Amino acid sequence: MDADIPALTIELDGWEGPLDLLLSLARAQKVDLRQLSILSLVEQYLAWIDRAATLRLELAADLLVMAAWLAYLKSALLLPRTPDMDPDPEELALRLQLRLERLGAMREAGAQLMARDRIGRDVFRRGDPEGLDSIRTTAWQAGLYDLIAAYGRVSARSRPVLHVVATRPVMTLDEALRRVEQLLGSPIEWTAIERFLPVDRDALFRRSALASTFVATLELARQGRVELRQDAPFAPIDVRRIA
Amino acid sequence: MTDPFVRAVEAVLFASETPLTPAQVRAHVGEGDVAGALRTIERTQAGRGFVLVRRGDHWHFETAPDLAHLLRRERAGPRPLSRAAIETLAIIAYHEPATRADIESIRGVQISKGTIDVLLEAGWVRPAGRREVPGRPLTYATTPSFLDHFGLTSRRDLPGIDDLRAAGLLDPIDDAVASALESRDDSD
Amino acid sequence: MTDPFVRAVEAVLFASETPLTPAQVRAHVGEGDVAGALRTIERTQAGRGFVLVRRGDHWHFETAPDLAHLLRRERAGPRPLSRAAIETLAIIAYHEPATRADIESIRGVQISKGTIDVLLEAGWVRPAGRREVPGRPLTYATTPSFLDHFGLTSRRDLPGIDDLRAAGLLDPIDDAVASALESRDDSD
């Protein structure tokens, strides 16, 4: 299994989200998507994320969220089955498989559409038609696209100018990892995760920092360097270093 | 000498800048068996350098596909679509009418600005009413010029659509999960 | 089945935007008896709705001259709506019934008398009564043939502001550039 992984080059621009990456990994197995082993696919995905991490590539958050979810799915699939397990891990795996089949089918369909005999590329209409004039039809021409584009233009012009701040201050995952690693330099006992956040008055930045720090501690927990603790859903999350 | 009515129909189709419906042809040629004339012309032109084709309700002449290599040079073909746009077009065509959420749930990513815009501008998709569910989202469907451009007689001609439908790949995912779980429970 | 070389010649002549000399035809179809093919096509087409004709050294297909009356060839040509007219039409469609003052306040510029006249003449808008405010201004609304022309079942099929924004149609140019850069960032 491991031998297959290097065949997929790690390139970050290529993936349109985790489903896209999963589908590429599944395709590399060269089996019918219906025969696919979800468990081995999950292992490949996690291995891919691992490799990207060791190459110190900055991964998009949705790829990491999917990794966390798949790690959960893997453990649920491997655990001895209890009938009342909710959600049923088999159903989660099935759902993932069906989504991959659907994306795969539509990608294939799109490719087949593009390969058809297309006007202006493979087949051609008459080059210089005389044209028909039907007096009954109106001479004024406008399409639906022109109409809605015109309304968009007018609205954009007359609407009170709305400043959308496109870029918010965010803490990248790398930065969060560095901060947490630094703070772990000194021995710490159970500490609320919020203590790792920078003191900053910008609430949005603090939210971003909290999210990045949480993912960073997950990563460090996976590497066996910290432990995480949460007593109940939505309770505070504590971190401590593993000695 | 060809039948005068057939001659008239082929003259009108030949002169037109756009594909025509039988009703539009009739507006020019007057009463007569337009459908029969179309079949006659289709048969007469078969095997010639340009042929009569039907796309949805519209008919037009175009060059035979196997001669593409003679005509392609020196012409800029249609601009290539992004992968996101191709997949979005396929999802709309195979599922129509489809909402933005339908497209996003299959692709697993949000549609970026401009993807549907490109398809609207090409004239291949159109807004097709709202779905009567909370939020009343706008749906999209394909247009006659979509069929025209991709050489499809009707949506039933979409590559592989029968197989996809038979495999349940065009059903909502919740239905597919439910029926798969049901058949699993039966086999236990 | 027509002779392959003859088929090739007729496809090239059909797709060409201008009449072609035999030498120009040969540049597309390669070596062969172009003159013989032209004679064959000329003979085959005699009496059909479209024929091959020679003008000096140049050859092209045209609709049979005796059928020209079917085409009504005063080529006035369809005229696109002016920007002012299409914007006015869009505002009426989204806000109907709308007065001239409504339209001007939304467009931010005055509209000339002729703009609404064009829309009335096209049959896409109609006077829709007076508004009971001082001056009793006339209001305008869209017509069934407006829906028909734009392929809408009802005005509710028009994309809403959110749909327009998602399709990238609400962005002034500068924002469009910014969002193109932004979506490039999104992909990594």
Q: What are residue A174's DSSP bridge partners?
A: none
- pLDDT at position C186: 40
Nearest by CB: B177 against A94, A116, A144: A94
- Contact: A18, B108; criterion CB under 8 Å: yes
**One-letter amino acid for residue A170 of the chain:** V
Q: How far apart are CA A242 and CA A141, in angstroms?
A: 73
A8 — pLDDT class (breaks 50, 70, 90) = low
* Mean pLDDT computed over B116-143: 92
C89 at interface of A, judged by CB pairs closer than 8 A = yes
Best of C111, C150, C174 to mutate (most A CBs within 10 Å, chain A): C150
Element of type H or E holding C55: strand C50-55
* Chain A residues within an 8 Å CB radius of B158: 109, 113
Answer whether A139 sits within 8 Å of C72, measured CB to CB. Answer: no
Q: What is the pTM of this model?
A: 0.63
Tens-digit pLDDT profile for residues B9-21: 999 999 998 899 9
CA distances from A57 to A8, A60, A107, C135 (A): 15, 10, 27, 69
B15-38, pLDDT tens digit by residue? Answer: 998 899 999 899 888 889 999 999
- C55/A contact by beta carbon, under 8 A: no
User: Cα(A45)–Cα(A233) distance, rounded to whole angstroms?
Assistant: 28
More confident: C149 or B87: B87
Of C166, C175, A113, A143, nearest to B103 by C-alpha is: C166
| pLDDT score of A181 more than 50 | yes
Residue A117, number of CB atoms within 10 A of its CB: 16
Cβ of residue A142 closer than 8 Å to a chain C Cβ: yes
Mean pLDDT of C59-70: 88
Residue contact A124–C87, C-beta within 8 A: no
Contacts across the A-C interface (CB distance below 8 Å): 124
Q: Do A147 and C86 touch (CB under 8 A)?
A: yes
Mapping DSSP to helix (H, G, I), strand (E, B) and coil, where does residue A229 land?
strand
Residue ranges of the alpha helices (H) in chain A? 18-28, 38-54, 61-78, 89-114, 144-158, 173-184, 203-222
Model confidence pLDDT, tens digit, residues B162-177: 999 998 899 888 888 8
Give C6's pLDDT tier (boundaries 50, 70, 90): very high
Q: Which residue has the higher pLDDT, B94 or A143?
A: B94
Q: Is B41 a residue whose pLDDT tops 90?
A: yes
pLDDT, residue A201, reads: 67
C178 touches chain A (CB under 8 A): yes
> What mean pLDDT comes out for the span A89-96?
88
What pLDDT digit, counting tens, does each position of B48-101 carry?
999 999 999 999 999 999 998 888 755 566 778 888 999 999 999 999 999 999
Quote the DSSP letter at residue A17. S
- What angle do helix axes A18-28 and A61-78 make, rounded to 10 degrees? 60
Contact C47 B129 (CB under 8 A): no
Whether C177 contacts chain A with CB within 8 A? no
| Model confidence at C156: pLDDT above 90 | no
Q: Does position C115 have pLDDT exceeding 70, yes or no?
A: yes
pLDDT at position A157, please? 76
Token pair, residue C12, equals 């090239």
Nearest to C45 by CA among B50, B18, B21: B50
Q: How much is the average pLDDT of B92-114?
A: 91
Q: What percentage of chain C carries pLDDT values higher than 70?
A: 86
Lowest mean pLDDT across A112-116, A235-239, B110-114, C163-167: C163-167
Which of 157-176 (B) contact A at CB < 8 A? 158-161, 164, 167, 169, 173, 176
Q: Which of A134, A141, A144 sits opposite C81 (nearest CB)?
A: A141
Task: Say yes or no to pLDDT of A242 above 90.
Answer: no
How confident is the model over A183-208, as pLDDT tens digits?
777 666 888 888 778 777 677 888 88
In this structure, of A53-67, A210-224, B89-103, the range with the lowest mean pLDDT score is: A53-67
Q: CA C66 to CA A4: how far, in whole Å?
A: 71
Whether residue A83 lies within 8 A of chain B, CB to CB, comes out as no
**Which alpha helices (H) appear in chain B, and where do they start and end?**
4-15, 22-29, 34-45, 68-71, 83-95, 100-107, 115-121, 144-149, 161-166, 173-187
Among C75, C85, C169, select the one facing A152 at the smallest CB separation: C169
For A156-173, the pLDDT digits (tens) are 777 665 565 666 778 888
* Sheet with strand A237-241: strands edge to edge: A191-192, A237-241, A226-230
Strand arrangement of the beta sheet that strand B125-130 belongs to: B98-99, B138-142, B125-130
Q: How would residue A26 be classed by pLDDT, with cut points 50, 70 and 90?
A: confident
What's the token pair of residue A67? 């990794």
Total residues belonging to chain B: 188
Residue in A17, A95, A134 nearest the CB of B108: A17
Q: Across the interface, which of B65, B83, B87 has its CB nearest the CB of A123?
A: B65
C182 interaction partners in chain A (CB closer than 8 Å): 166-167
Summarize the confidence of residues A31-43 as an average pLDDT. Answer: 85
Choose between C79 and A75: higher pLDDT. Answer: A75
Interval C126-142: pLDDT, tens? 999 899 888 899 999 99
